[in-house]
């Protein structure tokens, strides 16, 4: 099985093995692939843990098309993840990213991460149906406290509940909750968050430790092992470690005791060495990088 391919005049590592499940030996993927993140930068929010909130004027649709054409002509793109900053801030750019992604990688999983800046516009537009997953950054169950974290207005609980009726499937809308000191930072707060998510109709939640990308993230990093939550209604199903290191994930199922609707899929992700994940390419609007903060290759 090939483990590298030349892209943009440089040898690039491919994803050749699945993440390691528990303590089993890693298994090879059926077909080597690469993932692509498209980051538009600039954002309406001012989250202190984020470093992707500027340089929107450098975004180039024509260069993105070059990038997609080059990669898709040589290797399978398994996933395209659109994020920012806030990807919907410049709406026409956002629609163009979706159009190009579907044109050059029609079989890739398409996902996006948003703070909900154009939440109702997104779900009133047919573009939302193009996404396999729409991941809403939501770091606290209380609407006002969540606005405090983002330093801007974010979708209310009612806005979220409204959108769940427009999903293409029950897991299309997902929450991504950063674990931050002073906010969602204890097992009790996690359960309060999960129970609230159940009331607004969300069935898939990621609990994410902050990546060590700036001083705030390092000082407010939370890593209590989520296994501490395991009990009668919180079950560990899978434990993953990335082949090659850099991150780890734990998968769970949660069944709320009150107002039970559906079991909720939960995972905890800890990316402790983001620059080690080199089989992921990142287009930052101007350049292609190896990993999130890695070498510029195009």
Q: Are 292 and 275 in contact (CB under 8 A)?
A: yes
Contact, 155 vs 191, CB < 8 A?
no
| Residue showing tokens 């929010």 | 45
**Is the pTM above the cut of 0.85?**
yes
Residues 6+ apart with CB under 8 A from 232: none
Task: Report the 3 state secondary structure along 129-140.
Answer: HHCCEEEEECCC
Angle, alpha carbons 123-199-270 (nearest 5°) = 80
Please tell me the predicted confidence (pLDDT) of residue 277.
Answer: 66
Alpha-carbon gap, residue 192 to 142, rounded angstroms? 10
Which stretches within the chain are classed as H helix?
61-72, 91-104, 119-124, 143-150, 157-164, 187-199, 215-219
* pLDDT recorded at residue 86: 93
Of 209, 249, 252, the closest CA to residue 230 belongs to 252
pLDDT at 103: 97
pLDDT tens, per residue, the chain with 298 residues = 788 888 888 888 888 777 777 677 778 888 888 899 999 878 999 999 887 666 555 688 899 999 999 999 999 999 999 998 899 999 999 999 999 999 999 999 999 999 999 999 999 999 999 999 999 999 999 999 999 999 999 999 999 999 999 999 999 999 999 999 999 999 899 999 999 999 999 999 999 888 887 899 899 988 767 778 888 899 988 888 776 667 788 899 999 988 888 999 999 887 766 666 666 899 988 899 887 777 888 9
The rounded distance, in Å, linking the Cα atoms of 149 and 179 is 12
Report d(CA 121, CA 127) in Å as an integer: 10
User: How confident is the model at residue 143, as a pLDDT?
Assistant: 98
What is the pLDDT at residue 220? 93
Give the domains, in start order, of the chain with CATH numbers. Answer: 4-290 (3.20.20.70)
Q: What are the angstrom distances between the C-alpha of 259 and each of 192, 200, 256?
A: 13, 11, 7
Angle at 256 between CA 128 and CA 138, to 5 degrees: 40
- The C-alpha R_g of the chain, in whole angstroms, comes to 19
- Measured at the CA of 21, the angle between CA 291 and CA 230, to 5 degrees, comes to 105
**What pLDDT score does 55 carry?**
54
């Amino acid at each position: 099985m090939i483990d590298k391919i030349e892209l943009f005049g440089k040898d690039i590592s491919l994803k050749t093995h699945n993440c390691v499940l528990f303590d089993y030996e890693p298994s090879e993927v059926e077909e080597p692939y690469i993932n692509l993140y498209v980051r538009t930068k600039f954002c309406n929010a001012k989250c202190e843990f984020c470093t992707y909130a500027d340089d929107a004027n450098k975004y180039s649709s024509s260069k993105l098309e070059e990038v997609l054409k080059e990669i898709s002509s040589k290797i399978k793109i398994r996933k395209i993840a659109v994020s920012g900053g806030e990807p919907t801030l410049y709406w026409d750019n956002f629609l163009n990213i979706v159009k190009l992604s579907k044109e050059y990688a029609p079989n890739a999983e398409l996902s996006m991460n948003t703070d909900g800046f154009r939440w109702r516009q997104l779900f009133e537009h047919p573009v939302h149906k193009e996404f396999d997953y729409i991941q809403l950054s939501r770091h606290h169950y209380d609407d006002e406290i969540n606005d405090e974290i983002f330093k801007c207005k974010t979708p209310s609980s009612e806005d979220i509940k409204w959108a769940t009726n427009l999903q293409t499937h029950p897991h299309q809308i997902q929450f991504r909750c950063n674990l931050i000191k002073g906010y969602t930072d204890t097992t009790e707060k996690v359960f309060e968050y999960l129970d609230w998510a159940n009331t607004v109709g969300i069935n898939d939640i990621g609990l994410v430790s902050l990546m060590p990308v700036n001083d705030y993230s390092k000082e407010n990093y939370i890593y209590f092992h989520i296994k501490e939550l395991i009990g009668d209604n919180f079950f560990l199903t899978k434990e993953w470690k990335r082949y090659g290191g850099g991150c780890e994930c734990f998968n769970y199922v949660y069944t709320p005791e009150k107002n039970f609707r559906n079991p909720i899929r939960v995972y905890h992700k800890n990316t402790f060495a983001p620059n080690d994940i080199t089989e992921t390419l990142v287009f930052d609007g101007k350049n292609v990088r190896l990993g999130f903060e890695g070498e510029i290759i195009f």
